[in-house]
Amino acid sequence: MVVCSAIPAIPMSVGVSRTFQGKAVGYLLGDPGLPLAEEKALRARLTARALATLSADVSEPTLFSLE
Amino acid sequence: MRLELARYVVRAVDVGARTALENGCLVVAPDELRDLVLADRHLTAVRVDVARPGDRLRIVHCLDVVEPRAKAAGPGDVFPGFLSPPVTVGTGRTNVLAGAAVVSTGLYRELTDPWWSNREAIIDMAAPGATSPFSTTFNVVLSFDTAPGLGPAQQDQAIRLAALRVARHLARAAQDRPPDDVETCELLPCPDRLPRVVYISHLGALGSLYNTYVYGQSVAGSLPTVLHPNELFDGAIVSGHFRMASERHPTYDHQNCPVATELLRRHGHDLDFAGVIVMRNLADLPEDKERLASFTAKLAGLLRADAAIVSRDGGGHAIFDLMTTCQRCEQIGIKTGLLVSEQAGTSGTDISMIGHVPEADLMVSTGNLEEVVEMAAVDRVLGGSELLGGLGRPGDALRLPVRWLYAANSQLGRGHLTARTW
């Protein structure tokens, strides 16, 4: 499982194995400040990266981000 | 900065033909208030009622509560930035109608997204539901009709200005009369080395209809700044948020801020009060949360604070603003204590907050939002004819979590709740 959160301290404090850094409390996988085409591309990148973390090997609660 | 707070203790409230303050009775003149309020074309009608402690009466749809105050001397006016230019207040003399409160009520109904609409907020004047701090004040209750076509933000601003105008107008009735007592508020340099304490007040800003104002300006997008406690007493902070009822900070509670008041009274005796830092909380972006908490800790360091008291505003991810502020202060050697409410379930045994840091080793609870309160049937309901959120019929006996009772869990520490061990 991967939990996407703008505040990783929450899932990590309860022992979630994979946490993915979301953009903001109000919009985890996007950025409404961007032009729509750019935002859609960002959404796709964030979602793909979040999915990719599912296959990462972890031994303790670990934080992943887009970069 | 020296301010005299001249208190006129209000022990009764009544309706009459002219506003007056006689032998502790505040006489409220609905026609006078109507003329005052309806000068603003955004408002088309105002209903004025009074509510006394013990009345079998319930106030619903509470928006804000304001204490009647007016300047008797000194620069500026109360509620700077709203009723007057934002010149620095906190000097001179301010008349206070202690024990009286102006309660504004309303409902921003046409909002399309219910997430942002205002939530129910109740004040019961009679036991056993009299859990709000405003169950024990003599209340002037205002409800309004707004002009057609106004959006929620315009309605909100018009109602806020009306409540502030009424509060100032009522307090002007005390002009040239002898007060019951006068408290002098100033921060003279301490002759001895005493622990230097700063008060950090988190101020909520989450979006439309969830705002706090400093000198008339929303704190959204602002960096933390420093205020003298006297500025709070003159209404420099005005409330504008309408979400979880029991956690709201009414304007009244900023005017009467318990932490600032207590620190000021102890200044020069057993501590050295360094001032008030106001910090916007509930920012959406993680980097904004870090920026705000780090700036706050830096300001506390520049004020040479040895210790800090931080009050949270609101709930949810506000806990991380609180914890990050605590951590950043502790990391630079400032001992930090926190004022925070809990969501610990009806039994009080659930996990009461969704996160914490090891540095948060001193916390004072302002109560559990989920504690159930019994409320008796009432004879009259003011402020509306329904309860939002399917809570029941407004005049009936109710059994509700304290979360719906206005300001009952105030994280500024002005609530009536106590804990008992058995």
Q: Render each residue's pLDDT in chain B as its tens digit; 422 residues.
A: 999 999 999 999 999 999 999 999 999 999 999 999 999 999 999 999 999 999 999 999 999 999 999 999 999 999 999 999 999 999 999 999 999 999 999 988 656 666 667 789 999 999 999 999 999 999 999 999 999 989 888 999 999 999 999 999 999 999 999 999 999 999 999 988 999 999 999 999 987 788 999 999 999 999 999 999 999 999 999 999 888 999 999 999 999 999 999 999 999 999 999 999 999 999 999 999 999 999 999 999 999 999 999 999 999 899 999 999 999 999 999 999 999 999 999 988 888 888 889 999 999 999 999 999 999 999 999 999 999 988 999 999 999 999 999 999 999 998 888 887 77
Cβ contact (<8 Å) for A7 and B355? Answer: yes
Q: Which residues contact B347 (CB under 8 A, 6 or more apart)?
A: none
Let me know: does B93 contact B218? Beta carbons within 8 Å: no
Task: Please report where in the chains the tokens 């004022």 appear, as a residue.
Answer: B339
Separation CA B62–CA B364 (nearest Å): 26
Comparing alpha-carbon positions, the chain A residue that sits nearest to B324 is: A9
Predicted local confidence at residue B115, as pLDDT: 65
Residues of B in contact with A9 (CB under 8 A): 320, 323, 355
Let me know: does B352 contact B368? Beta carbons within 8 Å: yes
Let me know: does B19 contact B27? Beta carbons within 8 Å: yes
Cβ contact (<8 Å) for A6 and B285? Answer: yes
- Please report, in angstroms and rounded to a whole number, the separation of the first and last CA atoms in chain A: 20
Let me know: does A20 contact A2? Beta carbons within 8 Å: yes
Q: Hey, what are B218's tokens?
A: 């929303």
Q: DSSP class of residue B188?
A: P
Q: How many other C-beta atoms lie within 10 A of the C-beta of residue B21?
A: 21
Cα angle B10-B73-B177, degrees, rounded to a multiple of 5: 40
According to DSSP, the β-strands at B3-9 and B43-51 are unpaired
Predicted local confidence at residue B191, as pLDDT: 86
Task: Of B321, B315, B76, B82, give the one whose Cα is nearest residue B218.
Answer: B82
- Please report, in angstroms and rounded to a whole number, the separation of the first and last CA atoms in chain B: 47
- Is residue B221 less than 8 Å (CB to CB) from chain A? no
Residues of A in contact with B317 (CB under 8 A): 6-7, 25
Predicted local confidence at residue B209, as pLDDT: 84
ipTM over 0.90: no
Shortest distance between the Cα of A55 and any Cα of chain B, in A, equals: 26
Q: Hey, what are B145's tokens?
A: 């009709």
Mutate to test the interface with A, among B317, B319, B352 (most CBs of A within 10 A): B317
Cβ contact (<8 Å) for A25 and B355? Answer: no
Mutate to test the interface with A, among B116, B281, B326, B354 (most CBs of A within 10 A): B354
Q: DSSP class of residue B189?
A: P
Residues of A in contact with B285 (CB under 8 A): 6, 23-25
Taking the C-alpha atoms of A14, A20, A23 and A29 in order, what is their torsion angle to the nearest 10 degrees? -120
Mutate to test the interface with A, among B208, B285, B351 (most CBs of A within 10 A): B285
Residues of A in contact with B356 (CB under 8 A): 13
Q: DSSP class of residue B45?
A: E
Q: How many helices (H) and strands (E) does chain A have?
A: 2, 3
Cβ contact (<8 Å) for B284 and A6? Answer: yes
- Is residue B181 less than 8 Å (CB to CB) from chain A? no
Cβ contact (<8 Å) for A24 and B286? Answer: yes
Q: How far is CA A2 from the centre of its chain?
A: 8
- Is residue B419 less than 8 Å (CB to CB) from chain A? no
φ and ψ at residue B237, rounded to 5 degrees: -110, 125
Select the residue of B286, B289, B355 nearest A13 (Cβ to Cβ).
B355
Chain A residues at the B interface, defined by Cβ less than 8 Å, are: 6-7, 9-10, 13, 21, 23-27
- Is residue B317 less than 8 Å (CB to CB) from chain A? yes
Separation CA B188–CA B191 (nearest Å): 9
φ and ψ at residue B113, rounded to 5 degrees: -105, 105
Task: Please report where in the chains the tokens 């509470």 appear, as a residue.
Answer: B62
Compute the half-sphere exposure of residue B73: CA atoms within 13 Å on the CB side of its CA.
8
SS3 B30: helix
